[in-house]
Structure formats: structure tokens, C-alpha cells
């Protein structure tokens, strides 16, 4: 049975909404539970994790009559219970204690989205104890729910940790800040596996954020498994568990930098990149839409190239008009024909069929109008920014290893936003191992002519040069000198010093990430992954430390520093083409568009003092 992260997160949330009472197998509530109306109080991060899995109508079905923000003024409803879902922060527990002391609600069912630190729990207890005696009695339950991640769909999740790439690669970042972020990522992944109820085998490349997160998560899982019972023994007793465990494949965004900035021609990445899809919600100037698994057109066509989506919308509209005409013909009566008993019965039957078909026709029309509006908005941006030209040029560079210099320069000087041009230039930089200096100068001149901030370009250019210099260094002392200098300049990024030269699109459209995940799941000797570290939290610390390397049927692939829909699609294609079938869940610290990621690269370039002018790496000097 495939891992089902979204369903299991939803099960936890539904149980929480029913005051942590166990639900019946058919999903119905316990006797009398339908009358237990309640309020739901959340902080903003928990609103984000709840909104993709439960809509307003779903909340009402589970007895929630009102949803409120914890940081906003609220009126007392003393005869109703309140369910709190918040992160375990000092400010949140202070507000909960104040609400309980004021008697805002009949009872308080406090749920923390992740593990609550002992000092925070003691703070809540002390505040309730210092309040009037009735305060503590109103707090009916305090629970850790371990659902602190955003599950956008069955195979996609985010930890909603913004700017992780900048934080991990900031040359001025303090060790304590990096450690804090690594701990936060490891805790988020712990929540994912606690929700799934499985302990993974962890694989990652040596060095850098991936190894740091792997070691931290391994230690957290080991410590938790010492307790009996624990979250994983409870999960094992609640359901039949697959004999084989999944593999967690951890990657740093620098592993394959080009994917983070490139343009894509598929419907879903275009909607995310161009129109700003967030938490499965899309806001256009005149409308707001939800794009999730309840939208059949979205599920069927979201990975199709944009022109095919436009054709499918036209086909759906034509089919809708045909069905409406057919209904009208059947219910309009025969012109000039006298009705007899048989005609009356027949027309009545047609009329009833038409009435029954109206809801389905109405939903189809809403769906067609929705995607027509989205496609029209996309088409406007495509024409205004010449996005088809950017996609074609980047595809030629990444897949075919060729570039038409005139096309490249005309795009850099022509239509498109400054971010579009910068993304194209960075893709060009990462697509070729060596570039003629004269051609590179023309590209930089075109960027300056378009008044583009060069920080991101110079940052990637310097890291690529460092990568080349590191690979070419023959003596250990020289390599050590470069490493020392680079670690001071780039902080944690050196571990994978952007394998932008090697990790490019090849073998058609298969990404380096997908090739590596496939190799890790197969578990066969492979020079690309033979040196990957293995952590097994269930294995003894002594001895070899666990040697099971596969094969695996299920994998969770996690990108530290930001993921994207292009990688998600590539992993879904891996699922579909492998026999026997594999199941892959993709997650990231955040889901980024190309424009958002290029801004993070620009910020790092500015922090490294790589503004507008071209710069070269100092010859081995540590700074």
C-alpha cells in the first residue's frame, strides 16, 4: 500500500476537530458528536497547512461554526468549546492562557502543530496556575499533533520555511543560525514521518546542508524510538504496515541549480510561475480560483504543454455546447406537432432528464469559464514577455547543448521582465562547461543594456568558476586553500559547489535529481551514488550502522533550499515508467517559482559584494 501523506494528515486534523476522539472506520463521528459545535482558533502558519486539505464546507461538516485568528480580538462564546491549532511559541501559549483566564470558551482543546518544547509547556502551565482557579479546569487537553507541514497534494508537501537557501548560503550567517534552521528542517521532516508512521532509511550526499539535516533527523528519530510506546509503534498497531521501509533522499538546492531558474511550458508550472499560484489558490484581478484534486480538468491537463491545454479548453467548450443543444432539442417540443399522450410522456421524460443534467452542465460551464480565464491571463503574459521564446532557448541549451547566439541576445535585449532575462542568462551560464569569453561579454553587455541587476549572474558565475578551479586543482594543498576560501565566502554552499556543470538535463528530459533518486531506489552499485551516506535510525549505533541500501518501492525526496513543480513532474514520470511501480513523494523547504529563486540568488550576490560589475575569483586567497 502506497504511503498517503495527505490522507494521514487529514485523518489527524479530523480527529483533532472531533476533540481527539477516535473516528469510526467509515469516517462517521461517535454518537452525539454531530451536535458538538465548536470554534477553531489558529495562527497563520496553521491556517496555511489547513487550507489545502479542508475547505470551509468541510470544516462545517465537522462541527466548526467559526474560524478565528489567535492574534486578533475575539468575542467570548462561553457555551462553546474551542479547538486551538497553533505552533508552540511563547506568544501563542501566553494568548491561550489569557483566553482561558478570561473564560472566552467553555473548554480549551489545545493542539500544537509540532513537538512542544518543555520550557513552552511549562510556561503554559505556570500561566494557567497563576490565573483564577477555574482557568486550569477549562483546559481539557494539550496535544502534539506533528502535522507542521503543508500537504499541497497527495505526492507534494512543503515545510513552508521561506528563504532557506539564502540562510544556508549566506556568507555572514552565524553557526547558531544555521544550526537552528537545520533543526527546524529536521523537525519538519520528523513531523512528516510521524504522520506517515514509518521510520525511513536516509540517504544523502556527503557534506553541506543535506548531511547536516540527515544527521540531525537521524538523532531525533533514534531518541524518539528509545521510548516505548512511541509514535511509530502506535502507527504500527493502528494499521497493517508494509514490510519494507521507504528511503528518504535528501538534496541541497545547489545539487541542480539550473532547474530552479528555468522557464517551463507546462500548464501547472506556468500558472505557478506567471500567475502566482499559492497553496493551491490562484488570484486573478477579477476572480479567485482553487486548483486542486477536486478540479478534474486541472488533474487531467495540468502537466500538458500550454498549447494543448488551450486546445482541450476549446474541445470541452464545443462538447458542452453540443450537450446543451441536445438538451434544448429534446425539451423544446416538436414544432407544429399536436401532442398526444405518448408525446406528453416522452417529453416529460426528456424534461426530467434535462433537469437532472442541469447541475452537471452548470459545473462543467464553471470549469470551462475558470480555465478559459486562466488561459487568457497566461496568454497575455506569454505574448507580452515572449515566454515561448525563453522556453525554447533554455530547452535547446539544457537538453540539446546548443544555443543560437542571435536568439539569446535578442531575448536578453527584447521582451520579458528583468527576472526573465536574468533567468535565461543564468541558465546559459550553467548549460556549458566552458564559454567563450567574447560571448560571455556580449551576454553581460545585453543584461546591462536592459538595466538588469547583475548580482545573481555574478554569484552563479563565481560559484561555477570555483567549481571548475576546485575540480582542476591537482595538489591537496591547493584544493585545501580553495576550500578554506570558498567556505568563508559561501558558507554552507561548498558541499555541492553547484554541480551546475555536471548535473544538467540529459537523456531527454530526465533531471539529474530523478536519475539519482532512481539509482538510490534501485540499490545497485552505481558510481553516481556509491559514496552517498546512509543513516538508519533503527540500526545500532555500534558496528556498521546499517547497510540496507535497497531496493526500495517508496521514496520521499526532499530538496533543502526550495523545490519546484518541474522536479515534481519529473519524479511523477519516474513513478509512471518504472516496473514494478514505485511511489515517490516530493517535498521541499518551500515551493519556489523561478523568479522567486532568482531573487534569492541576487540577494546572496549582493551579500557577497557582487553588484553590477563583472568580478573574478581571487587566486586562492581566503577572505
**What band does 229 get if pLDDT is binned at 50, 70 and 90?**
confident
Is it the case that residue 235 has pLDDT exceeding 80? no
Average of per-residue pLDDT across 459-485: 61
How far is residue 153's CA from residue 13's CA, in Å, rounded to a whole number?
Answer: 15
How far is residue 552's CA from residue 521's CA, in Å, rounded to a whole number?
Answer: 5
pLDDT at 581: 83
**What band does 295 get if pLDDT is binned at 50, 70 and 90?**
very high
Q: Who contacts 418 (Cβ-Cβ below 8 Å, separation ≥6)? A: 450, 451, 452, 453
How far is residue 352's CA from residue 359's CA, in Å, rounded to a whole number?
Answer: 13
DSSP per-residue letters across 273-333: HHH--BTTEEE-SS-EEE-STT-HHHHHHTTSBHHHHHHHHHHHHHHHHHHHHHHHHHHS-
**What band does 493 get if pLDDT is binned at 50, 70 and 90?**
very low
How far is residue 539's CA from residue 427's CA, in Å, rounded to a whole number?
Answer: 42
pLDDT in tens, 158-178: 999 999 999 999 888 899 999
Is it the case that residue 153 has pLDDT exceeding 60? yes
CB 364 within 8 A of CB 321: no
pLDDT in tens, 17-67: 998 876 544 444 444 444 478 999 999 999 999 999 998 889 999 999 999
Average of per-residue pLDDT across 322-339: 61
pLDDT at 385: 94
Cell of 221: 528519530
pLDDT at 350: 58
Better pLDDT: 236 or 330: 330
How far is residue 420's CA from residue 403's CA, in Å, rounded to a whole number?
Answer: 17
How far is residue 447's CA from residue 453's CA, in Å, rounded to a whole number?
Answer: 8
Share of the chain above pLDDT 70, in %: 82
How far is residue 581's CA from residue 128's CA, in Å, rounded to a whole number?
Answer: 53
Average of per-residue pLDDT across 428-448: 91
399 DSSP 8-state letter: I
pLDDT at 230: 84
pLDDT at 547: 63
pLDDT at 548: 72
Is it the case that residue 389 has pLDDT exceeding 50? yes
Average of per-residue pLDDT across 244-259: 92
Amino acid at each position: 500500500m502506497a504511503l498517503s501523506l495527505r490522507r494521514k494528515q487529514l485523518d489527524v486534523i479530523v480527529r483533532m476537530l472531533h476533540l481527539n476522539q477516535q473516528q469510526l472506520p467509515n469516517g462517521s463521528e461517535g454518537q452525539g458528536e454531530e451536535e458538538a459545535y465548536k470554534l477553531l482558533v489558529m495562527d497563520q502558519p496553521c491556517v496555511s497547512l489547513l487550507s489545502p486539505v479542508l475547505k470551509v464546507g468541510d470544516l462545517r461538516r465537522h462541527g466548526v461554526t467559526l474560524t478565528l485568528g489567535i492574534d486578533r480580538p475575539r468575542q467570548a462564546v462561553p457555551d462553546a468549546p474551542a479547538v486551538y491549532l497553533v505552533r508552540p511559541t511563547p506568544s501563542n501559549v501566553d494568548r491561550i492562557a489569557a483566553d482561558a483566564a478570561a473564560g472566552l470558551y467553555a473548554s480549551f482543546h489545545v493542539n500544537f502543530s509540532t513537538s512542544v518544547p518543555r520550557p513552552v509547556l511549562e510556561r503554559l502551565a505556570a500561566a494557567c496556575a497563576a490565573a483564577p482557579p477555574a482557568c486550569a479546569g477549562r483546559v481539557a487537553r494539550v496535544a502534539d499533533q506533528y502535522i507542521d507541514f503543508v500537504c499541497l497534494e497527495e505526492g507534494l508537501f512543503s515545510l513552508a520555511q521561506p528563504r532557506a537557501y539564502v540562510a544556508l548560503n549566506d556568507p555572514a550567517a552565524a553557526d547558531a543560525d544555521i544550526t537552528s534552521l537545520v533543526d527546524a528542517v529536521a523537525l519538519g521532516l520528523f513531523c512528516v514521518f510521524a504522520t506517515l508512521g514509518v521510520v525511513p532509511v536516509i540517504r544523502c550526499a556527503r557534506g553541506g546542508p543535506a548531511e547536516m539535516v540527515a544527521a540531525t533527523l537521524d538523532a531525533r528519530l533514534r531518541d524518539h524510538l528509545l521510548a516505548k510506546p512511541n509514535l511509530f509503534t502506535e502507527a504500527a498497531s493502528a494499521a497493517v504496515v508494509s514490510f519494507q521501509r521507504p528511503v528518504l533522499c535528501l538534496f541541497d538546492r545547489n545539487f541542480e541549480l539550473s532547474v530552479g531558474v528555468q522557464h517551463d511550458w507546462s500548464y501547472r508550472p506556468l500558472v505557478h510561475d506567471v500567475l502566482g499560484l499559492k497553496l493551491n489558490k490562484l488570484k486573478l484581478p477579477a476572480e479567485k480560483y482553487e486548483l486542486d484534486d477536486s478540479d478534474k480538468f486541472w488533474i487531467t491537463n495540468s502537466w500538458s504543454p500550454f498549447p494543448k491545454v488551450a486546445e482541450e479548453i476549446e474541445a470541452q467548450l464545443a462538447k458542452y455546447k453540443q450537450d446543451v443543444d441536445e438538451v434544448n432539442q429534446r425539451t423544446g417540443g416538436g414544432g407544429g406537432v399536436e401532442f398526444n399522450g405518448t408525446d406528453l410522456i416522452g417529453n416529460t421524460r426528456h424534461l426530467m432528464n434535462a433537469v437532472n443534467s442541469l447541475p452537471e452542465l452548470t459545473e462543467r460551464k464553471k470549469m470551462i469559464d475558470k480555465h478559459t480565464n486562466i488561459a487568457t491571463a497566461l496568454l497575455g503574459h506569454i505574448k507580452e514577455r515572449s515566454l515561448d521564446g525563453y522556453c525554447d532557448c533554455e530547452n535547446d541549451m539544457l537538453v540539446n547543448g546548443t544555443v543560437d547566439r542571435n536568439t539569446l541576445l535578442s531575448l536578453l535585449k527584447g521582451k520579458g521582465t528583468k527576472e526573465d532575462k536574468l533567468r535565461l542568462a543564468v541558465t546559459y551560464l550553467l548549460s556549458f562547461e566552458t564559454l567563450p569569453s567574447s560571448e560571455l561579454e556580449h551576454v553581460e553587455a545585453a543584461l546591462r543594456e536592459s538595466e538588469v541587476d547583475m548580482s545573481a549572474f555574478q554569484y552563479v558565475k563565481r560559484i561555477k568558476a570555483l567549481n571548475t578551479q576546485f575540480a582542476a586543482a591537482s595538489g591537496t594543498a591547493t584544493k585545501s586553500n580553495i576550500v578554506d576560501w570558498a567556505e568563508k565566502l559561501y558558507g554552507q554552499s561548498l558541499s555541492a559547489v553547484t554541480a551546475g556543470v555536471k548535473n544538467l538535463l540529459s537523456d531527454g528530459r530526465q533531471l539529474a535529481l530523478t536519475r539519482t533518486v532512481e539509482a538510490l531506489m534501485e540499490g545497485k552499485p552505481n558510481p553516481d551514488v556509491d559514496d552517498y551516506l546512509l543513516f538508519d535510525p533503527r540500526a545500532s549505533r555500534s558496528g556498521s550502522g546499517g547497510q540496507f541500501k535497497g531496493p526500495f518501492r517508496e521514496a520521499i525526496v526532499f530538496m533543502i533550499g526550495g523545490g519546484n513543480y518541474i522536479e515534481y513532474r519529473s519524479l511523477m514520470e519516474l513513478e509512471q515508467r518504472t516496473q514494478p511501480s514505485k511511489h515517490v513523494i516530493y517535498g521541499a523547504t518551500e515551493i519556489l517559482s523561478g523568479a522567486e529563486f532568482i531573487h534569492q540568488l541576487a540577494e546572496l550576490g549582493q551579500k557577497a559584494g557582487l553588484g553590477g560589475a563583472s568580478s573574478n575569483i581571487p587566486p586562492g586567497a581566503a577572505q
